[in-house]
């Protein structure tokens, strides 16, 4: 059975996996740089690239050992080639090219966003068409119409901050550590009370989070509302905007299922609220929501190495 060695280094995770052609993850190791960036309040591209370079060999060694395999046993090398922090992407791409050259195995370039969409294959083994896919991460808030395997159409995207970025910025304003998403979720879960925060409501499928972020900043500055209430109100508004666009797309198009992927998709409140909608909903397994090598391997297998570029 074919096996792919898959490499993801587009931001601050050095993640390598070995995936077989039935989307089984034989092994995956991830070195997260989150502890480095906690004290800095966010990712510094130069430091991220250096860390990828320093950690690459040991992560690679661990993933091969864990699977009990050598380069001889893998059939191709898959790697994220865009989009992402250029210096970080470059480290993975150079390492992958080197392995491919030395082992004479094909190099398969994978778009990171297609990788997130394909993270669903690691649990469901198939993607149903036509369907919606909402990609919510630190860099993207994209709504896709998945018409067929060859046709992923971008319906809408954020016009300012990505939702994960808004979570991170709001957390920073509240003195919470990076990454902000899990910390805001935890704080919000302490309370039921919410304030009705105004959000920019674009009429099309596009999203906007900067207005919400400014409203939260004003609330924090006034210093009279409890932090947990602010966190809960921010989260409710942020999720409501996602729900509105999914409902709108479902009303206008033939939609058999909605997939929600990316780092923010592991948020339990988001999963709970979206699951209430009258649309079958799927989320990746928790370990495949954020950036990971396995989704890059899954995309390479699904698309048979074809380099599909989407926005
Ligand atoms: O997909 P990902 O690992 O990296 C990117 O490609 O951006 O997503 C990282 C983002 C960060 O902004 C982080 O705060 C957010 O995902 N995130 C969350 C949660 N866990 C991670 N946001 C909300 N709730 C969470 N539980
Ligand atoms: Zn990502």
pLDDT for the residue numbered 5: 98
Contact, 3 vs 72, CB < 8 A?
A: no
Beta carbon of 115 within 6 Å of any ligand 1 atom: no
| Structural domains in the chain, sorted by start | 3-119+289-303 (3.30.420.40), 128-283 (3.30.420.40)
Check if 164 has its Cβ closer than 6 Å to any atom of ligand 1. Answer: yes
User: Which among 167, 143, 153, 283 is positioned nearest to 232, based on CA atoms?
Assistant: 167
With beta carbons less than 8 A apart as the criterion, state whether 16 and 292 touch. no
At 29 the pLDDT is 98
pTM: predicted TM-score of the whole model, two decimal places:
0.95
Query: Which numbered atom of ligand 1 lies nearest the CA of 84?
Result: 6
Work out the number of other CB atoms within 10 angstroms of the CB of residue 66.
13
Which residues of the chain fall below pLDDT 50? none
**Any ligand 1 atom below 6 A from CB of 284:** no
Instruction: Measure CA of the first residue to CA of the last residue in the chain; give whole Å.
Output: 32
Task: Tell me the per-residue pLDDT of 195-251, one tens digit each, with 9 for 90 and over.
Answer: 988 787 888 999 999 999 999 999 999 988 999 999 999 999 999 999 999 999 999
Please tell me the predicted confidence (pLDDT) of residue 89. 98
Locate 104 and state its tokens: 């004479």
Which tokens in the block code for residue 214? 């400014």
- Ligand 2 is a single-atom ion; what residues have CB below 5 A from it? 137, 291
For the Cβ of 290 lying below 6 angstroms from any atom of ligand 1, the answer is yes
pLDDT at 307: 75
Tell me how far the alpha carbon of residue 274 lies from the centroid of ligand 2, in angstroms: 20
Do 4 and 304 contact (CB within 8 A), yes or no? no
pLDDT score at 214? 93
Q: Is the CB of 95 under 6 A from ligand 1?
A: no
pLDDT of residue 41: 79
Name every residue whose Cβ is closer than 8 Å to that of residue 154 and which is 6 or more positions away in sequence: 142, 143, 144, 310, 311
């Amino acid at each position: 059975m074919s096996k792919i060695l898959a490499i993801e280094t587009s931001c601050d995770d050095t993640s390598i996996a070995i995936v077989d052609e039935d989307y089984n993850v034989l092994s995956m190791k991830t070195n997260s740089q989150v502890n480095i960036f906690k004290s800095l309040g966010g990712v510094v591209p130069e430091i991220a690239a250096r860390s990828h370079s320093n950690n690459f060999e040991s992560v690679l060694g661990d993933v091969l050992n864990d699977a009990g395999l050598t380069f001889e046993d893998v059939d191709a090398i898959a790697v994220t080639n865009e989009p992402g922090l250029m210096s970080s992407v470059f480290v993975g791409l150079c390492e992958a090219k080197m392995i491919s050259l030395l082992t004479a195995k094909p190099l398969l370039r994978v778009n990171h966003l297609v990788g997130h969409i394909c993270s669903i294959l690691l649990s469901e083994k198939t993607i149903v068409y036509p369907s919606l896919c909402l990609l919510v991460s630190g860099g993207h808030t994209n709504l896709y119409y998945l018409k067929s395997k060859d046709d992923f159409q971008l319906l809408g995207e954020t016009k300012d901050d990505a939702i994960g970025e808004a979570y991170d910025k709001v957390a920073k304003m509240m003195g919470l550590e990076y990454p902000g998403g899990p910390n805001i979720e935890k704080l919000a879960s302490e309370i039921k009370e919410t304030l009705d925060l105004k959000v920019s409501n674009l009429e099309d499928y596009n999203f906007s989070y900067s207005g919400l972020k400014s409203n939260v900043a004003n609330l924090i500055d006034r210093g009279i509302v409890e932090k947990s209430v602010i966190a809960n109100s921010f989260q409710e508004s942020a999720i409501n905007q996602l729900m509105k666009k999914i409902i709108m797309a479902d009303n206008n198009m033939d939609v058999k299922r909605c997939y929600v992927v990316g780092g923010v998709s592991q948020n339990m409140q988001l999963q709970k609220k979206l699951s209430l909608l009258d649309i079958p909903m799927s989320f990746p397994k928790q370990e495949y929501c954020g950036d990971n090598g396995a989704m890059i391997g899954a995309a390479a297998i699904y698309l048979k190495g074809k380099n599909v570029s989407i926005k």
